[in-house]
Amino acid sequence: MKKYLKITPEGTKDFLFAECSAMDDICGKIEQVFVTRGFKKVITPGIEFYDVFSVPCSGISQEEMFKLTDNKGRLLVARPDSTLPIARMVSSRLKSSLLPVRLYYKQAVYRNQPTLTGRRTEFMQMGVELLGAQGLRADLEILTTAISAVSAVANDFRIELGHAEVFDALADGLDIDEDYKEKIRVSIESKNYSALNNLLDKLEPSKSVTAIRKLPSLFGGEEVIEQAAHICEGTKAQSALEYLHTLYKNLSTLGLGDKVIIDLGLVQRNDYYTGFVFAGYVNGIGDAVITGGRYDKLLSEFDAPMGAAGFAIDTDALTILRLSDESISYSDNPDVLVFACDGAEMKAIEAVARFNADGRKARFSVLPTLEKTKAFAAARGIAEVISVGEEEE
């Protein structure tokens, strides 16, 4: 018995009709932003060698990857991330390119979710990578591209802006190992105050402990920088705060008001990000729909050291939200359904072409009789049926 013949694996789904139209709409608008900003499209393989994702700073655990082997017994994985394959590509096929390189992608990624809890194992992402550039101009290009992309598909959004070096600099002042540091980072990122306090209470009191304890609550506007500067005074975190302040002031000129927020509790994957980090949220979606930042160490893992920054957008989540908007219709109904009497098939097809050329959405009926065509039109809500041939009405 083929038990799984008619179902999809957990965490995956079929996309049908309006779902596909909504996804095409979302992705098309985002893609237009990327192309206008000068990014070039690339596609990487759906399966890669495991080695691509086993670099120390990948931030992707073995348990999250779907694994398989090729006919030579080599370990492969279904692509769990797009940035690492692009880093591989740049270090090999694009190693002689004039820098900086602007790339964008639209492709599915696959993450094994041991406990699922409603999370998807396959989801579509779009994103950009700006490789071979560092500094304020490059960071502002990434941030403003992300803002333009989310603005193209959503009105009610916010961008949370942080800096990886704030937490790293403060954590360097603690006498802890990497595992303990990671536990602290996770508790800050999830804003789990109880877990964070339990971890910090076990350490000797210090300026760094006091500052880290307050990071999750440092969330808001420009006043956050002033508060953080006070508790981080005399630490290496000061320069990161100053740079974050510069980014924030530049973005403030866009007139976005409270859509841009400073969040010093944004401490994503400290083994991966090296500079500014950000996350984008859209009202109606619980998780971040955009994540990104600067990751200058990544290309060194592929023997091609260079500055790198980028972001990824969860287009599946945006599609689901768009479909819940009753003011937007993705109906594919034609304005007119054209039926052909026997022998008039080509005339009817030509009539359909003329209607479409004139701006009326028309479709050729493949049903055998005019009666069945009319019944189909009534059931689908198609307003007009035209018959071509001897029974023309």
Q: CA 328 to CA 357: how far, in whole Å?
A: 25
Q: What is the pLDDT of residues 247-303, one digit of tens each?
A: 999 999 999 989 999 999 898 765 689 999 999 999 999 899 999 999 999 999 999
Q: What is the pLDDT of residues 192-220, one digit of tens each?
A: 889 999 999 999 888 889 889 999 889 99
- Max mean pLDDT range (59-63, 164-168, 325-329): 164-168
Q: How confident is the model at residue 117 (pLDDT cuts 50, 70, 90)?
A: low
The more confidently predicted of residues 330 and 368 is: 368
CATH number 3.30.930.10 given to 18-323:
yes
Q: How confident is the model at residue 393 (pLDDT cuts 50, 70, 90)?
A: very low
Looking at residue 392, its pLDDT comes to 46
Q: How confident is the model at residue 31 (pLDDT cuts 50, 70, 90)?
A: very high
Looking at residue 355, its pLDDT comes to 97
Report helix, strand or coil for 129.
Answer: strand
Total residue length of the chain: 393
Q: 176-180 contacts: CB < 8 A, separation 24 or more?
A: 176/203
Residues 6+ apart with CB under 8 A from 189: 265, 266, 267, 268
According to CATH, where is 3.30.930.10 located in the chain? Answer: 18-323
Q: What is the mean pLDDT of residues 305-320?
A: 96
Residues 6+ apart with CB under 8 A from 153: 26, 29, 30, 318, 322
Percentage of the chain exceeding pLDDT 70: 97
Q: CA 314 to CA 289: how far, in whole Å?
A: 5
Cα Rg of the chain (Å, integer): 26
pTM confidence score = 0.92
Q: CA 258 to CA 246: how far, in whole Å?
A: 17
